[in-house]
Structures are given as C-alpha cells and as structure tokens.
Amino acid sequence: RRLLGTAGAAGAAGLVAGGAAGAFGAEAVRDAPAALAGVGSATLPFHGTHQAGIAEPAQAHGHLVAFDLAPGADRKAAAALLRRWSATAAELAAGEAPKGDDTGIALDAGPSSLTVTFGFGRSFFDRTGLTAKRPAALEPLPDFTADALDRKRSDGDLWVQIGADDSLVAFHALRLLQKQAAGTARVRWQMNGFNRSPGATARPLTGRNLMGQMDGTNNPKPSDPDFASRVFVPDRDGDWMAGGSYAVVRRIRMLLDSWDHLSLERQEKVIGRRKSDGAPLSGGTETTPVDLTKIEKDGSLAIAGDAHIRVAAPESNRGAAMLRRAFSYHDGFLDDGAPDAGLLFVAWQADPLKGFVPVQRKLDRGDGLSRFLRHEASGLYAVPGGCAPGEYVGQRLLE
Ligand code: HEM
C-alpha cells in the first residue's frame, strides 16, 4: 500500500520546477497548483479492520508518546478524547487539513505515509472503572536481568505511535494530539525515532539498525498464512480487542562503544547473519531460510549456540513469534562520551505470552547480543482493532 522507490519521481519533479522557474519566474511556480509527487503523496488509510502502523513498513520518522489521564478524567472523558484523536488522525492520514485549530506545521506537505496508532496501558482500566474489561494479556511483563528500567519513561494510561516519512508531518500530528489532550491527559513520556528514508537506497532494502545490521529480515510477513493469527487478536465472543494487537515497547540502549570494538567476524557470529547483506551464516542470501543444524567442516555450528537469531527463533521458543517494527533513536551523548542511542523496539503480537515474553526470557538467559544492550524503558499496551469512518478507536471498549 505504501509507495516505495519514489526518489526518481521526486527528482524529476524538482527538474520540471527548475525549468519552469526559468520561463515564468519563481512567483508563478510557487503559485501554480502542482500535484504532490513522491514521498509526500503516499497515504495509508486510517480506517480499517486493524489500526494502521502495524503491518506496514516502519516510516522514516517516529514518535512514541504515552499519556496519563488527568485527575478526575473518567471513562466519558477518555471516550471523548479518543473520538477527537481518531477524527484528527483520519484527516491527517488522508492529507486533509484538520478541522478546528491548526498549527500550520505541515501546511505544504502531503500525508507522507502518516499513521497514528492508539493503545491502552494496564493502568487505564482502573482509572476509568473498566477493570473488569482489562485483558489478561496486560499482566505486567516479568523482570529481566538486562533491565535497567526508568519507570518514569515506562508504562502510561494511553499510548500513541506516530510514523511518517516526513519529520514535520510526524511532529504536526504529535503536537495536535498533545494539544487536544489538554485537560484530559498529560504526556508521561515521549521518544523520537527514525529509520532510513524511502528512496535513500537504490532499491527498497530491509532497514539497518545503529549496529549496522539489517533488521527485520525474518519478521512474519503479511503474506504468510499465519501472519494474522500471530499478530492480531482473533474475533472471539465479541471481544472488544478483536482485530487488535498487543504492543511491547522497549527502549533498548546499544552499548555501541563496546560493540564497535568487535571484529566484523565476531559481530556476525553474535547475530548469526552477515552484516553486508543480511545472509544467514548457514549460507545463501538474506531470504534463504536459516539452517540452525548446519555444521561447519571444523565441527562447529554455522549459527553459534548463543547467536541472536538462534536464541530468538520461533523454532527455539515453541513457535513464539512477533512482528518487530522498530525505530532507531539517538538522544545525544552521555557524560562518558557514549552515544545515548539504540532501538525503540516495538513488537506486535496477538498474545505477549506467546510472543515477546518467552523470547525475551530466553535472550536474557544468555544470547550473545544481550551483553551489548540495556533495556531502559518498557511498556505493554492493548491496541484495539481499527475503526470505520464515523467511529473511533476503542469505541467497543468505551461506549
Ligand atoms: C532477529 C537485532 C532485540 C527478537 C534479529 C536480527 C537482528 C536483530 C540483526 C536478524 C535479522 C532479522 O531477522 O530481523 C536486534 C537488536 C536488538 C534486538 C539490535 C536490540 C537492540 C530483540 C528483542 C527481541 C528480538 C528484545 C525479542 C524479545 C528477534 C527475533 C528475530 C530477531 C524473533 C528473528 C529470529 C529468526 O527467526 O530468525 N534481531 N534484536 N530481538 N530478533 Fe532481534
């Protein structure tokens, strides 16, 4: 659904504009209505069975933000907020000017693949008198030894994920939603992330993380027969979460100074894939299925016993799988000079107890990568299914 590889079109549009400026003068060009081309024109519909921002490729810019309800804000106030937020998100995703107050931040840009995804944290249900409707899947995540969690940057009553291929479009959405929350909810924490821009590579490629690896190769794909059952909550007994998903959010700092000291060979062994093209060390290309049983001539395992892709694979975890849809982050440098950078890891699954939890338990017990990571913040959110025009996200829970 997303337009990819549009750099050529954008470049061509630039050339045409340049030529026209010569003939008619800059003013005429600025006033002439021009169709949006390339990255800006791509739209991802807000309405649908599932919320947007889950199955689509992650955009170049992301904001993750959690809100806490204001004292006294009840279920009705939360419902009104979700109604306002949904209406605005639908307008912005369609490239329409938002009704009501606008800031003008994205006036001249197209929707740029904007998605806005809404979720509820565990605490939301007590605050709104809906404890009886809280899904069992929102049980707090267990503690892991690699955790160094900042509780102030974790959890929250409401969670919003914003993604767009233009940073002003993404910030515009963030700012509007924050303003609309006034009086009902306050920002608890907010994080900014990024990915490669569409068109930056000669052909669409799996994105790289800040360790330089291709990241996302062995994700469940929408074309897989079991994609929906792994990622989305089934429609059972009128469950208000039907068509929804559970998002595990982890701010994972990478210990990049230590990582960058490893030789390329060591780095590749830690993951189990080649850095250059993402091919598994058992052979083939990026998309060749991993052979966890392959033995090298010297008798060693081609994919080491503690390689990240062995320890995390569904085969090692009774089929547990999740859709990883992350953003990288960089918030400057710490006092010791180390980058405050890593992954805003967002994992989507139908049930966190059959996705993130068992896999992270296993990674925590000793995968080669964990030594280079610190989990600094954490959240688990119930992300309801999508809504139809005229409805709002979470309506089945809140009305
Ligand atoms: C695979 C990096 C954290 C679960 C991979 C791959 C890389 C990678 C490079 C191989 C390519 C791919 O299939 O995507 C990282 C980094 C992390 C991180 C840099 C932290 C900063 C996690 C966490 C989990 C996880 C916390 C889950 C608890 C997985 C899974 C796979 C994978 C399930 C696919 C394994 C397979 O079936 O081949 N990761 N990862 N990763 N990772 Fe991670």
User: Of 237 and 311, which is predicted with more confidence?
Assistant: 311
Expressed in angstroms and rounded, the spacing between residue 367 Cα and the centre of ligand 1 is 11
Residue 144 one-letter amino acid: F
* Residue 224 a catalytic site member: no
Expressed in angstroms and rounded, the spacing between residue 308 Cα and the centre of ligand 1 is 7
Expressed in angstroms and rounded, the spacing between residue 348 Cα and the centre of ligand 1 is 13
What pLDDT is attached to residue 101? 84
Among protein residues, the one with the nearest Cα to ligand 1's atom 41 is 312
| Bridge partners, residue 253, by sequence | 342, 374
Q: Quick check: CB of 373 below 6 Å from ligand 1?
A: yes
Q: Quick check: CB of 267 below 6 Å from ligand 1?
A: no
pLDDT above 60 for 7: no
What pLDDT is attached to residue 224? 96
What pLDDT is attached to residue 194? 98
Does an H or E element contain 193, and which? strand 185-194
CA-atom Rg of the chain in angstroms: 22
Cβ-based neighbour number of residue 293 at 10 Å: 10
Q: Quick check: CB of 313 below 6 Å from ligand 1?
A: yes
What span, in angstroms and rounded, lies between the C-alpha atoms of 113 and 69?
A: 29
Q: For the residues 1-30, what does the mean pLDDT come to?
A: 39
Q: Quick check: CB of 3 below 6 Å from ligand 1?
A: no
Alpha helices in 39-129, H assignment, sequence order: 75-93, 122-127
Tokens 């000079």 locate to: 337
Residue 146 one-letter amino acid: A
Expressed in angstroms and rounded, the spacing between residue 369 Cα and the centre of ligand 1 is 9
Atom of ligand 1 nearest to the CA of 363: 28
**In the structure, what pLDDT confidence band is assigned to residue 223 with cuts at 50, 70 and 90?**
very high
Q: Quick check: CB of 290 below 6 Å from ligand 1?
A: yes
Q: Quick check: CB of 325 below 6 Å from ligand 1?
A: no
Q: Quick check: CB of 311 below 6 Å from ligand 1?
A: no
Cα angle 138-315-300, degrees, rounded to a multiple of 5: 135
pLDDT above 80 for 16: no
Q: Quick check: CB of 218 below 6 Å from ligand 1?
A: yes
pLDDT above 70 for 31: no
What pLDDT is attached to residue 146? 83
Helix (H, G, I), strand (E, B) or coil at 118: strand
pLDDT above 60 for 25: no
Contact status, residue 147 vs residue 97, Cβ threshold 8 Å: no
Q: ipTM greater than 0.85, yes or no?
A: yes
In 3D space, the residue among 146, 144, 380 whose CA is nearest the CA of residue 253 turns out to be: 146
Expressed in angstroms and rounded, the spacing between residue 189 Cα and the centre of ligand 1 is 25
What pLDDT is attached to residue 3? 40
B/e letters for 48-71, b = 16+ CB within 10 Å, e = fewer, are eebbbbbbebbbbbbbbbbbbbee
Task: Give 91-143 pLDDT, tens digit per residue.
Answer: 999 999 998 889 999 999 999 999 999 999 999 999 999 999 999 999 999 99
- Torsion (CA) 285, 290, 294, 296 in degrees, nearest 10: 40
Annotated active-site residue in 155, 215, 306, 367:
215
Tokens 């033995």 locate to: 295
What pLDDT is attached to residue 167? 97
pLDDT above 60 for 51: yes
Expressed in angstroms and rounded, the spacing between residue 133 Cα and the centre of ligand 1 is 32
Cα angle 125-128-133, degrees, rounded to a multiple of 5: 40
What pLDDT is attached to residue 33? 62
Q: For the residues 195-223, what does the mean pLDDT come to?
A: 96
In 3D space, the residue among 114, 129, 243 whose CA is nearest the CA of residue 170 turns out to be: 114
What span, in angstroms and rounded, lies between the C-alpha atoms of 80 and 86?
A: 10
Q: Quick check: CB of 345 below 6 Å from ligand 1?
A: yes
Among protein residues, the one with the nearest Cα to ligand 1's atom 6 is 215
Q: For the residues 380-392, what does the mean pLDDT come to?
A: 98
Q: Which two tokens stand for residue 36?
A: 């949006």
Task: Give 225-268 pLDDT, tens digit per residue.
Answer: 999 999 999 998 889 999 999 999 999 999 999 999 999 999 99
What pLDDT is attached to residue 30? 57
pLDDT more than 70, % of the chain: 92
Q: Which two tokens stand for residue 368?
A: 């080669």
Prediction pTM value: 0.92
Atom of ligand 1 nearest to the CA of 272: 10
DSSP characters for 55-79?
A: SSPP-SEEEEEEEEEPTT--HHHHH
pLDDT above 50 for 270: yes
- What mean pLDDT is reported for the chain? 92
What pLDDT is attached to residue 354? 95
Contact status, residue 161 vs residue 61, Cβ threshold 8 Å: no
**In the structure, what pLDDT confidence band is assigned to residue 56 with cuts at 50, 70 and 90?**
very high
Among protein residues, the one with the nearest Cα to ligand 1's atom 2 is 215
> What's the Cα-to-Cα distance from 128 to each of 70, 82, 324, 326, 350, rounded to whole Å?
11, 13, 30, 30, 24
Among protein residues, the one with the nearest Cα to ligand 1's atom 24 is 360
Task: Give 129-151 pLDDT, tens digit per residue.
Answer: 999 999 999 999 999 998 999 99
What pLDDT is attached to residue 34? 72
What pLDDT is attached to residue 27? 52
What span, in angstroms and rounded, lies between the C-alpha atoms of 170 and 116?
A: 9
